[in-house]
Amino acid sequence: MIIKTPGRIHTKGASSMQLDLLRREITIKLVYYGPPFSGKTTNLQALESLVAPEIRGPLLSVDTKDDRTILFDLLPVQIEAGRGVQIRLKLYTVPGQVIHRATRALILQGVDGVAFIADSQRTQLQANRASFLDLRANLKERGVDPTSIPMVIQFNKRDLPNIISDEEIDALALKSPEPIHKAIATQGEGVRETLYTLFELTWKKLNMQHQIEERLEIEQNQVLSSIAKILGPFKGEPPKGGLGHASSRASGQ
């Protein structure tokens, strides 16, 4: 459902995208999801270091008062996309612990795209699968088809021992539609590519639904070039696939 006010368009329901035609501003919400300690916060910390301070806010972390568990992180980024168009990205993480399911569900409300951060260690494959199923369940409970949400999967911690091999990840990548990136988030590797790919998928879907480029008289290549400029150029095409169809097999290895 689209709600229109003078000069503004914002969606109600699955997406929280807001389009202000008068100010030529678009607000997009992207969520980093995954099991505990998979590297969700580390991805945002790396992005905070990569993106120039003048176009981003500080990384905000909100934790509980009792056990200091991080409930969520928020990193706001503003992109000048040309022709006076400003894109405001709100990058969130969710808590991975089982007891914080309600918080994860709340943060998913109005999500435009999801980066699922998986842990490459073999001992964490079951945790990856459980978190992915939790993501799908949370979306379904809100009446959202999980296959309709733009999603990218990142296999993080590629520098640790006892991890699933590149060949195993490449095999997974052939079996389902989500793009996969390999990463070492503590070193910034794969972080740019993960966000770029997720933004590209999300932008294309939102534009198809709401004709953003036509309304703002802007071209897709201008938008994608703008985010590539602040992140560093995206090199090559990511392999296709992900946990959507292959998670059961991965967790059984």
17 and 185 Cβ atoms separated by less than 8 Å = no
Tell me if 185 is assigned to some domain.
Answer: yes
pLDDT, tens digit, 9 for 90 and up, residues 93-120: 998 787 788 889 999 999 999 999 999 9
Residues 6+ apart with CB under 8 A from 141: 105
For residue 211, the domain's CATH number is: 3.40.50.300
Q: Which residues pair with 26 in a beta bridge?
A: 19, 87
Tell me if 76 is assigned to some domain.
Answer: yes
Expressed as residue numbers, the domain containing 35 is 2-248
How many domains in the chain? Answer: 1
Tell me if 200 is assigned to some domain.
Answer: yes
CA dist 98 to 42, 103, 156, 226, 253, Å? 20, 10, 20, 37, 23
Locate 246 and state its tokens.
């292959």
Tell me if 253 is assigned to some domain.
Answer: no
Mind giving me the DSSP string for 28-61? EEEEEE-STTSSHHHHHHHHHHHS-GGGB-PPEE
pLDDT, tens digit, 9 for 90 and up, residues 19-38: 999 999 999 999 999 999 99
Tell me if 13 is assigned to some domain.
Answer: yes
Distance CA 171, CA 152 (A): 16
Tell me if 167 is assigned to some domain.
Answer: yes
Considering the entire predicted model, what is its pTM? 0.87
CA dist 223 to 26, 78, 133, 149, Å? 12, 12, 32, 20
Tell me if 147 is assigned to some domain.
Answer: yes
Residues in the chain: 253
Tell me if 184 is assigned to some domain.
Answer: yes
- In the chain, the N- to C-terminal Cα span, in Å, equals 42
pLDDT, tens digit, 9 for 90 and up, residues 41-74: 999 999 999 999 999 999 998 876 665 567 889 9
